[in-house]
Amino acid sequence: MRMKVAFIGTGYVGLVTGTCMAEMGHEVICVDIDAKKIAGLKKGILPIYEPGLDVLVKKYYKQGTLAFTTSICDAVQSSEVVFSAVGTPEHKATGAADLQYVREVARQFGQHLNGYKVFVNKSTVPVGTGEEVRQIIATESGREYEFDVVSNPEFLREGSAVKDFLEPDRIAIGVENERARKVMEEVYEPLTSRGYPLFVTNIKSAEIIKYASNSFLATKISFINDIANICELVGADVKDVARGMGLDNRIGPKFLRAGVGYGGACFPKDVKALLTTSKDLKRPLRILEAVEAVNEDQKTIPFKVLKKHFKSLKGKTIAVWGLAFKPETDDVREAPSFVLLRSLAKAGAKIRAYDPVAIPNTKAYLGKLPVTYTKDAMLAVKGADAVVLLTEWKEFQSVDWGQVKRAMKGDFVFDGRNILPHAEIESLGLIYKGIGTR
């Protein structure tokens, strides 16, 4: 049954999930306080790069089942279910999730409530937020109308977000009563009727499921990176080690790829937020503390490797391939590339950087850093002493290494994701260096 659904916060999660809800047959209204973003969306200009999203946004906007507005009042009052998908960034001083946007949305929802509605926390929020939000709404609404609060954390991945949302491993919801449960079952019926599982629990458990899942994935990454560093010392190959481990069904091959560390809008801040919760509870999460420490070290490896190879990087030209924290996204938040770019600039290196889509966002974050951004991968390596791969974009896997060699001045190739054809590179007389491998 078609439902009227609102998304407050039309960022990565709000825009993707809102659009996908239109694809599921609902009538969706997406709100944002960023008037420029909303004006752009109305003209078909998307604020993010996400495969497959633009087609759906344009289709449902044209059909009239996906609307964009800056009026939270209109969105709340015309909807039965209101998803809050605003950011919960890291609070710089404490490492906790900054809940100011969530609280503001709850206040506004309470003020505009005009009948029974369900307020859904789609944002990643620390355990206890559902209860806090319920109290804010009750106070702001003057308890005139009934409402329910639900937790529905989102597990989509940037780069495959549309598919992840429409074909989820599971949909997790936390509810406190049958009425809210029924509403959420109706919202997700287009997916559950196709066999995708809806996992229902209480609000606090749902809130923790999200943090525990992201923290576990981050743990797998830091674990294999730690093992990679051992492999390096003893002459083993972490790619084979990971493959050999991943063939065990109990372990699985995913998230077991050694590299230059995790980044992005989620893992770093979610790990930090869970660590802060554990500290507040005076029950340290020691494994997670190590996960974070390993990741911080891992991000410094590309610079250390270059420094070891060149001794001084002053005046050296370094080509950097890949700026986004992972492929198929233009998101550069907490990207390992920033650690390298800043260190290279400080060391006086000349930086030539290329990424298929993330250059505008990198410029926005690192504006003043002296980096020459190039239009393609080959231009970046022109005259370079070394080339460093940081993001495993597919196009880097099919470059012509003969051409790279001719374009470079030097001969050093650092593969921060272990995806380049090292035998071919070495056969051309270039020096290949990976992570936890030769």
Give whichever of 269 and 316 is closer to ligand NAD, judged by the CB atom. Answer: 269
User: Any contact of residue 211 with ligand NAD (CB under 6 A)?
Assistant: no
The residue among 6, 82, 13, 85 whose CA lies nearest residue 53 is 13
Residue from 69, 124, 152, 295 in contact with ligand NAD (CB under 6 A): 124
What's the rounded Cα separation, in Å, for the pair 145 and 108?
A: 14
User: Any contact of residue 8 with ligand NAD (CB under 6 A)?
Assistant: yes
What's the rounded Cα separation, in Å, for the pair 262 and 424?
A: 28
CB-count exposure of residue 63 (10 Å: 0-12, 13-18, 19+): exposed
User: What tokens were used for 298?
Assistant: 């891992």
User: Any contact of residue 82 with ligand NAD (CB under 6 A)?
Assistant: no
User: Any contact of residue 302 with ligand NAD (CB under 6 A)?
Assistant: no
Per-residue contact string for residues 357-396; x = within reach of ligand NAD by CB under 6 A: ----------------------------------------
| Orientation angle between helical segments 286-299 and 301-310, nearest 10 degrees | 40
Residue from 12, 310, 321, 432 in contact with ligand NAD (CB under 6 A): 12
Give whichever of 61 and 354 is closer to ligand NAD, judged by the CB atom. Answer: 61
Please give the full DSSP string across 25-94, using - where no structure is assigned: T-EEEEE-S-HHHHHHHHTT--SS--TTHHHHHHHHHHHTSEEEES-HHHHHHT-SEEEE-----B-TTT
User: Any contact of residue 130 with ligand NAD (CB under 6 A)?
Assistant: no
Indicate the helix (H) or strand (E) that contains 186.
Answer: helix 178-187
Catalytic residue, from 20, 30, 231, 266: name it.
266
Residue nearest ligand NAD, Cβ-based: 11
User: Any contact of residue 34 with ligand NAD (CB under 6 A)?
Assistant: yes
What's the rounded Cα separation, in Å, for the pair 434 and 423?
A: 12
User: Any contact of residue 81 with ligand NAD (CB under 6 A)?
Assistant: no
Residue from 5, 6, 11, 95 in contact with ligand NAD (CB under 6 A): 11
User: Please, what is the minimum distance in Å from the beta carbon of residue 406 to ligand NAD?
Assistant: 39
DSSP letter (8 states) at residue 9: -
User: Please, what is the minimum distance in Å from the beta carbon of residue 48 to ligand NAD?
Assistant: 7
The identity of residue 433, as a single letter, is K
Alpha carbon distance, N-terminus to C-terminus of the chain: 57
Asked whether the beta carbons of 216 and 262 are under 8 A apart, the reply is: no
User: Any contact of residue 68 with ligand NAD (CB under 6 A)?
Assistant: no
Give whichever of 42 and 179 is closer to ligand NAD, judged by the CB atom. Answer: 42
Give whichever of 69 and 437 is closer to ligand NAD, judged by the CB atom. Answer: 69
Give whichever of 11 and 416 is closer to ligand NAD, judged by the CB atom. Answer: 11
User: Any contact of residue 9 with ligand NAD (CB under 6 A)?
Assistant: yes
Give whichever of 160 and 192 is closer to ligand NAD, judged by the CB atom. Answer: 160
User: Would you call 266 a catalytic residue per the annotation?
Assistant: yes
Residue from 90, 148, 158, 330 in contact with ligand NAD (CB under 6 A): 158
Taking contact as CB under 6 A, which single stretch among the options 32-40, 57-65, 305-313, 348-356 is the one that binds ligand NAD?
A: 32-40
Give whichever of 265 and 387 is closer to ligand NAD, judged by the CB atom. Answer: 265
φ, ψ (nearest 5 deg) of residue 29? -125, 125
- Only one residue has tokens 């209204």, namely 29
The identity of residue 321, as a single letter, is W
Give whichever of 236 and 357 is closer to ligand NAD, judged by the CB atom. Answer: 357
Residues 6+ apart with CB under 8 A from 311: none
DSSP letter (8 states) at residue 334: T
The residue among 297, 370, 289, 293 whose CA lies nearest residue 339 is 297
Taking contact as CB under 6 A, which single stretch among the options 27-35, 250-258, 339-347, 406-414 is the one that binds ligand NAD?
A: 27-35
Taking contact as CB under 6 A, which single stretch among the options 4-12, 288-296, 357-365, 373-381 is the one that binds ligand NAD?
A: 4-12
User: Any contact of residue 87 with ligand NAD (CB under 6 A)?
Assistant: yes
Residue from 187, 265, 366, 388 in contact with ligand NAD (CB under 6 A): 265
User: Any contact of residue 337 with ligand NAD (CB under 6 A)?
Assistant: no
CB-count exposure of residue 64 (10 Å: 0-12, 13-18, 19+): exposed
The residue among 380, 335, 17, 430 whose CA lies nearest residue 191 is 17
What's the rounded Cα separation, in Å, for the pair 288 and 118?
A: 34
User: Please, what is the minimum distance in Å from the beta carbon of residue 164 to ligand NAD?
Assistant: 9
Q: How many residues does the chain have?
A: 438
Give whichever of 329 and 374 is closer to ligand NAD, judged by the CB atom. Answer: 329
- Count CB neighbours of 360 within 10 A: 12
User: Any contact of residue 291 with ligand NAD (CB under 6 A)?
Assistant: no
- Only one residue has tokens 């990741």, namely 295
Active-site residue list: 266
Q: Binding residues for ligand NAD, per CB under 6 A?
A: 8-14, 31-34, 37, 72, 85-88, 101, 104-105, 123-124, 154, 156, 158, 265-266
